[in-house]
Amino acid sequence: MTKDTSVLLDEKRVFKANYKIVEEAHVKNWEAEIEKGKNIDKYWAEKAEQFEWFQEWDKVVDESKKPFYKWFTNGKINLAYNAVDRWISTNKRNQVAILYANERGEEKKLTYYELYREINKMANALKNLGIKKGDTVSMYLPMCPELLVSMLACNKIGAVHNVVYSGLSVGAFVERMNASNAKVLITADGTYRRGKIIDLKKIVDESLLKCPTIETVVVVEHTKSPIKVSELSGKEINYESLIEGESDECSVEHMDAEDPLFILYTSGSTGKPKGVLHTTAGYMVGVATTLKNVFDIHNDDLYWCTADIGWITGHSYVIYGPLLLGTTTLVYEGAPDYPDPGAWWKIVEKYGVTKLYTAPTAIRHLMRYGSKYPNLYNLSSLKILGSVGEPINPEAWMWYYKNIGKGKTPIMDTWWQTETGMHMISPLPISPLKPGTATLPLPGIDVDVVDENGNSVPLGKGGYLVIKKPWPAMFRTLYNDEKRFLEVYWKMPGGVYKAGDMARKDKDGYIWIQGRSDDVLKIAGHRVGTSEVESAFVSHPSVVETAVIGKSDPIKGQVIKAFLILKEGYKLNTALIENLQKHVRYELGPVAVVGEIVQVDSLPKTRSGKIMRRILRAQEAGEDLGDTSTLEE
Ligand code: WTA
């Protein structure tokens, strides 16, 4: 039997919003907004009015065929039109829409008007390649303006995009191409990574032989490097020559609210990748609303989300959210620590970034170098910071808050998923914050923590994180795999959405994510979340980063096995092991029995930076590692 978890990180620090933040915030009264959000029809209808519709919707949400929800039924709209065309007739026309910068110090700016014309040219070119509404176009591109242009060009003509992260290699690439039946692939000669040029085209060449549906390969000469662009069966065409001579005007496809918008394969931490399918109108409403409120977007913002576009964060919050709000989005191609660990802070200073959105993995990485690098730059333009992708350990939160935000900028710890499409649990700039928690569900979002039978668990106890009411940016299915869609997400009692995470609520109702349910440990019958154990380790001065798994134990069932990356100057010896064991027990209570600690140089992670505990478990059990296509090199 599983007892409730008595393993709790007890966080007492609370940070309140300063006067200026509250003064500027779009949402000034949290309670009132939550109250409004209780009527989801009315709430989301109001938010949908920010867009230009070609035809009004009949129903905000159609729940008649649960869990196949429909939003804004019979409404007609176009994403590219609302993200770009709409701004051309306003004073945003000549404002920078996309600011591209890279690790070589190069930059490229596209105003809304320039972007509009580029999109139209590409949209016309895609049509000439035979792409029609509903066809799939794949992209395997670095962070470059052509990627954004291509995605928006697809939206404009109703094609469905499938972006494959350019860090994935042959096996994963082939799988995703074939699963999505892509007709056209847009790729590049290469991408910059830590002073080197990665030959993307070579990976494509190797893969293409196994991708029969691809008829045309468009190649962006991004690096203009001497890498040989090998001709392959005459399928290739250079991006520049493709769009040359195309008209910079293109008619807008009137999309049904529920027409597919994109497929995105999740680089999930467990099992085979899933083709998450998002549709048009609800996604637009959800993403624009959350970005506006959570990052408090205003006209004078310079917004930077460091996520790769090949990941949902890149889709929702590098491209679509910012452009739908008419802001300037910074697209950066480069690592956080190249040429040195001050690279990102230099960008913040250079462009006067006001909103910065990144991931705990990057923060933990940069934390290793201490405050030296952030202190070399003027970061005073920053107003709001964000985090996404994993639970942020309280120590990492504090480092980010003190060293980057200088104690003045709130941190929006946003919990959401590829499947949810938009932020679900997150503070707003006015919220009181506690390091390590995404705080409360956003207005209009109904979240709970329940047991196996679907009953709410009392405050403080761990359980399954579920979402009880539909939300506009929810995915509609897994592409070509409805069975798995129903099995994985919709089998909880009450028909609620099962997120796959374990969580608990603290006395203020704040939600603490304990980790993925497949990763959870059972020590003497107690359910112990990986994230709380890992945060306890990270709060020890010797530890930079860690992953924990359960190790079989004849008495306790499982005990903790921890893989640690230590700070420079520390060595794992008996004294330190004892000290760490004591520390974790002190932080979490006697249930947290640490059975084994090993020191490692790196941890297995997905390309988006999530720790793959599954790999460590398989290794420990001497089993096959399973699907490793999303494993970072
Ligand atoms: C985890 C990323 C704690 C969680 C947008 C979720 C988080 C999975 C947070 C989805 C957060 C994401 N705090 N955990 N702020 N954000 N997660 O699909 O386990 O790449 O289920 O979407 O990441 O990852 P995905």
- Grouping H, G, I as helix, E, B as strand and the rest as coil, residue 225 is coil
DSSP states along 455-495 = PBPPTT-EEEEEE-S--TT---EETT-HHHHHHHHS-SGGG
Backbone angles phi, psi at 531, to 5 degrees: -70, -35
Residue 273: the pLDDT is 80
* Pair 190, 223: CB distance under 8 Å: yes
Give me ligand 1 centre to Cα 223, in Å.
32
Calculate the CA 182 to chain-centre distance.
Answer: 23
Mutate to test the pocket of ligand 1, among 308, 415, 424, 520 (most ligand atoms within 8 A of CB): 415
Mutate to test the pocket of ligand 1, among 388, 440, 511, 606 (most ligand atoms within 8 A of CB): 388
Orientation angle between helical segments 574-588 and 530-538, nearest 10 degrees: 120
Least confident of 143-152, 166-175, 322-331, 483-492: 166-175
Q: Whose CA is nearest to atom 13 of ligand 1?
A: 391
What is the mean pLDDT of the segment spanning 504-532? Answer: 87
Distances (CA, A) of 599 to 206, 407, 585, 612: 37, 33, 19, 17
Q: Whose CA is nearest to atom 10 of ligand 1?
A: 417
What is the mean pLDDT of the segment spanning 103-123? Answer: 97
Give me ligand 1 centre to Cα 421, in Å.
11
Backbone angles phi, psi at 616, to 5 degrees: -65, -40
* Pair 385, 409: CB distance under 8 Å: yes
pTM: 0.92
Q: What is the DSSP letter of 43?
A: H
Nearest atom in ligand 1 to the alpha carbon of residue 392 is: 13
Nearest atom in ligand 1 to the alpha carbon of residue 610 is: 23
Distance (Å, whole) CA 545 – CA 142: 28
Starting at the edge strand found earlier in the chain, the sheet holding 107-111 runs 107-111, 96-102, 328-333, 302-305, 355-358, 384-388, 411-414
pLDDT tens readout for residues 542-581:
999 999 999 988 888 889 999 999 988 899 999 999 999 9
Q: Whose CA is nearest to atom 5 of ligand 1?
A: 417
Nearest atom in ligand 1 to the alpha carbon of residue 606 is: 20
- Lining ligand 1 with CB less than 6 A are 266, 312-313, 387-391, 413-418, 438, 499-501, 513, 516, 608
Mutate to test the pocket of ligand 1, among 390, 431, 517 (most ligand atoms within 8 A of CB): 390
pLDDT tens readout for residues 271-298:
578 899 999 999 999 999 999 999 999 9
Residue 271: the pLDDT is 59
Distance (Å, whole) CA 63 – CA 91: 40
Q: Whose CA is nearest to atom 1 of ligand 1?
A: 390
Distances (CA, A) of 374 to 144, 302, 320, 360, 623: 26, 19, 29, 16, 43
Residue 1: the pLDDT is 39
Q: What is the DSSP letter of 519?
A: G
Give me ligand 1 centre to Cα 354, in Å.
24
What is the mean pLDDT of the segment spanning 312-331? Answer: 98
Give me ligand 1 centre to Cα 242, in Å.
38
What is the mean pLDDT of the segment spanning 254-261? Answer: 98
Nearest atom in ligand 1 to the alpha carbon of residue 516 is: 19
Residue 456: the pLDDT is 97
Kindly indicate the confidence band of residue 4, based on its pLDDT and cuts at 50, 70 and 90.
very low
* Pair 188, 144: CB distance under 8 Å: yes
**Which residues fall within 8 angstroms of residue 575, CB to CB, at 6 or more apart?**
none
Give me ligand 1 centre to Cα 416, in Å.
5
Average pLDDT taken over every residue of the chain: 92
What is the mean pLDDT of the segment spanning 49-64? Answer: 98
Distance (Å, whole) CA 35 – CA 356: 29
What is the mean pLDDT of the segment spanning 28-46? Answer: 97
Nearest atom in ligand 1 to the alpha carbon of residue 438 is: 15
Backbone angles phi, psi at 259, to 5 degrees: -65, 140
**Which residues fall within 8 angstroms of residue 313, CB to CB, at 6 or more apart?**
305, 307, 357, 359, 388, 389, 608
Q: Name the nearest CA neighbour of 87 among 115, 61, 128, 48.
A: 115
Q: Go through 571-581 and write b for each residue having 16 or more CB atoms within 10 A of its CB, e for each that does not.
A: eeeeebbeebb
Q: Whose CA is nearest to atom 8 of ligand 1?
A: 417
Starting at the edge strand found earlier in the chain, the sheet holding 462-467 runs 447-450, 462-467, 497-505, 511-516
Give me ligand 1 centre to Cα 427, in Å.
15
- Give burial (CB, 10 Å; 0-12/13-18/19+) of 298: middle
